[in-house]
Amino acid sequence: MKITTYPTYAHADGSDLAGRTAVVIDLLRATSTIATALHNGCRRVIPVEDKNDALEKAKSHTGCDGVVTGGERDGVKLTGFDLGNSPLEYGRSKIAGKCLVMCTSNGTHAVKKAMAAKEVYLGCLNNADAVAKKAAQSGRDIAIVCAGTRLKFSVDDIAAAGAIISRIVKTAGPAAMDDLSRTALRLYEENKKNLHPLISGSRPYRTLMRLGAGEDIDYCLLEDILDTVPMCEGEEII
Amino acid sequence: MKITTYPTYAHADGSDLAGRTAVVIDLLRATSTIATALHNGCRRVIPVEDKNDALEKAKSHTGCDGVVTGGERDGVKLTGFDLGNSPLEYGRSKIAGKCLVMCTSNGTHAVKKAMAAKEVYLGCLNNADAVAKKAAQSGRDIAIVCAGTRLKFSVDDIAAAGAIISRIVKTAGPAAMDDLSRTALRLYEENKKNLHPLISGSRPYRTLMRLGAGEDIDYCLLEDILDTVPMCEGEEII
């Protein structure tokens, strides 16, 4: 088994991903939010890149006990959407039984891109252990696709990649890794007692602090609290 | 002053670099070798991307006490070239007074790309302090352009970037940094007592070990032993 980490989805092309198991990470906050929504009874998530397409898709979608639209740009809820991108908004009362049409700055683009892989899971710190087990069990080479921020390296995603890689190695034993995987693992191991200082300079961290969403960060940094592993099926996440 | 770090030269385009001071890093080994050659009396270095072009250029070049061709692919000296890419080959007896036409796997491409910046310096650990002072004194925003390995993140270059950033900050005071600059600085600070474990998994490190060139690695990890700062002037490095 080989583990390769991509700093942003723009760095991973279809031929890199073909035949592999992909784990998409957008720690702050898309993959944390989607894992939480599914854990709280959301039936399926439809990732959409364009906000108008999202509203159109929500109108025409059937097959659940209603549709919820969720999304943000630069941390702020999109106009006309039901919910933003805070995992704390996606409680059972809001989301159980419903479909979620989701549009975010980086995460939904990353998920769309990763769909070139054989299997696609969504990972975060909340489900680090569970997603690592799924990926390890696939027996395939693993591509960790970080969402990044505005197509740039974002250390919050890299820290979460390190957490997931540490658990993959614990489950599956030593793996061949590329240099960014090894560096992510080292950064995580060196900082896991308190990840805040490591990631506090990242753009999404600073944006959320500026918006008064420190609670979201605290929640997204909780490790292994969810056993839900979001998985792509066709164009949807279940 | 703002510091931005690019994991490979492919990630930095001309518009990113325009008006800035660029520091190109290919720790193992191009920028270490070029700094050493110039320190040992080499008059100028002509970076060339294609090996046949390099041999042609060497034939037609005038204006020095002779021309030396240097270059490698995947760590091995190119056929028909005088020297490889080991800094230990570039002693005074070989290079003093001469021009060096240089062709390497990643470093010369990175230098060519960085020429879109206002000023371009070549940095490594050997000249970390000297290049940091030059960059800080420029007063411009700084772009650290890592060569990377085969267009991928390579932690050896990132560690050297962290070393140079630590010295820029020491000279110029706190600077605005992008996320990769901050991460590079942290990796360096956490591992500076012994950089070998951090970089030992990187492809160039492993290639050099396999080729029995451990002495080159030891040399390239010596910090602040050279006060020479290679600098681009037109198409050449002086």
Q: Minimal Cα distance from A183: which residue of B?
A: B155
Q: Do B153 and A183 touch (CB under 8 A)?
A: yes
Query: Which residue of A106, A153, A156, A192 is the best one to mutate when testing the B interface, meaning the one whose CB has the most B CBs within 10 A?
Result: A153
* A235 contacts A120 by C-beta, under 8 angstroms: no
Query: Which residue of B179, B182, B199, B203 is the best one to mutate when testing the A interface, meaning the one whose CB has the most A CBs within 10 A?
Result: B179
The pair of three-digit structure tokens given for residue A222, joined into one six-digit string: 């909780």
Find out whether the peptide bond into B150 is cis, omega within 30 degrees of 0: no
Calculate the average pLDDT of chain A.
95
The pLDDT of residue A79 is 95
- Residues of chain A positioned with their CB less than 8 A from the CB of B177: 201
- What phi and psi values does residue A153 have, to the nearest 5 degrees? -45, 130
Q: Assess whether pLDDT exceeds 90 at residue B13.
A: no
Sign of CA dihedral A87, A92, A93, A98: positive
The pLDDT of residue B62 is 81
What would the mean pLDDT of A226-235 be, rounded to a whole number? Answer: 96
Query: Which residue of A16, A179, A195 is the best one to mutate when testing the B interface, meaning the one whose CB has the most B CBs within 10 A?
Result: A179
The pair of three-digit structure tokens given for residue B57, joined into one six-digit string: 């250029």
Q: Assess whether pLDDT exceeds 90 at residue A203.
A: yes
The pLDDT of residue A212 is 96
Distance CA A79, CA A72 (A): 9
- Residues of chain B positioned with their CB less than 8 A from the CB of A7: 7, 153
Strands (E), A74-162: 76-77, 99-103, 119-123, 142-146
Structural element, H or E, at residue A34: helix A30-39
Identify which of B149, B154, B179 has the shortest CB distance to residue A153: B179
The pLDDT of residue B219 is 98
B238 falls within a domain? no
* B154 contacts B202 by C-beta, under 8 angstroms: yes
The pLDDT of residue B63 is 80
Per-residue pLDDT of A37-55, as tens digits, reads: 999 999 999 999 999 999 9
What would the mean pLDDT of B152-161 be, rounded to a whole number? Answer: 97
- What phi and psi values does residue B148 have, to the nearest 5 degrees? 70, 180
What would the mean pLDDT of B8-33 be, rounded to a whole number? Answer: 94
What would the mean pLDDT of B6-30 be, rounded to a whole number? Answer: 94
Distance CA B171, CA B136 (A): 7
The pLDDT of residue A105 is 86
- Shortest Cα distance from B177 to chain A (angstroms)? 9
- Residues of chain B positioned with their CB less than 8 A from the CB of A189: none
Q: Assess whether pLDDT exceeds 90 at residue A77.
A: yes
Close Cβ partners of A172 (under 8 Å, ≥ 6 residues apart): A1, A136
Per-residue pLDDT of A17-36, as tens digits, reads: 999 999 999 999 999 999 99
The pLDDT of residue A13 is 84
The parent domain of residue A44 ranges over 2-237
Please report the ipTM that was assigned to this predicted complex: 0.86
Q: How confident is the model at residue B46 (pLDDT cuts 50, 70, 90)?
A: very high
The pLDDT of residue B212 is 96
Q: How confident is the model at residue B105 (pLDDT cuts 50, 70, 90)?
A: confident
B29 falls within a domain? yes
pTM of the model: 0.92
Distance CA A157, CA A29 (A): 10
- Residues of chain B positioned with their CB less than 8 A from the CB of A152: 178-180
What would the mean pLDDT of B139-145 be, rounded to a whole number? Answer: 97
What would the mean pLDDT of A127-155 be, rounded to a whole number? Answer: 96
- Shortest Cα distance from B77 to chain A (angstroms)? 24
* A7 contacts A181 by C-beta, under 8 angstroms: no
Calculate helix-pair angle for A107-114, A30-39, nearest 10 degrees: 80
Q: Assess whether pLDDT exceeds 90 at residue A63.
A: no
The closest alpha carbon to A188, from A233, A155, A226, A146, belongs to: A155
Taking the CA of residue A67 as centre, how many other CA atoms within 13 Å lie in the half-sphere pointing to its CB?
16
Q: Assess whether pLDDT exceeds 90 at residue B82.
A: yes
B33 falls within a domain? yes
Residue A163 forms beta bridges with which residues? none
Distance CA A108, CA A106 (A): 6
* Total of domains in chain B: 1
Distance CA B80, CA B230 (A): 26
Q: Do B180 and A152 touch (CB under 8 A)?
A: yes
What would the mean pLDDT of B206-231 be, rounded to a whole number? Answer: 97
Q: Do A180 and B149 touch (CB under 8 A)?
A: no
B197 falls within a domain? yes
CA distances from B116 to A136, B20, B55, B108, B201 (A): 44, 9, 25, 14, 32
Per-residue pLDDT of A175-193, as tens digits, reads: 999 999 999 999 999 999 9
Question: How many other CB atoms are there within 10 angstroms of residue B9's CB atom?
Answer: 24
Q: How confident is the model at residue A14 (pLDDT cuts 50, 70, 90)?
A: confident
Distance CA A4, CA A25 (A): 13
What would the mean pLDDT of A62-84 be, rounded to a whole number? Answer: 93
Give the CATH number of the domain where residue B103 resides: 3.90.1560.10
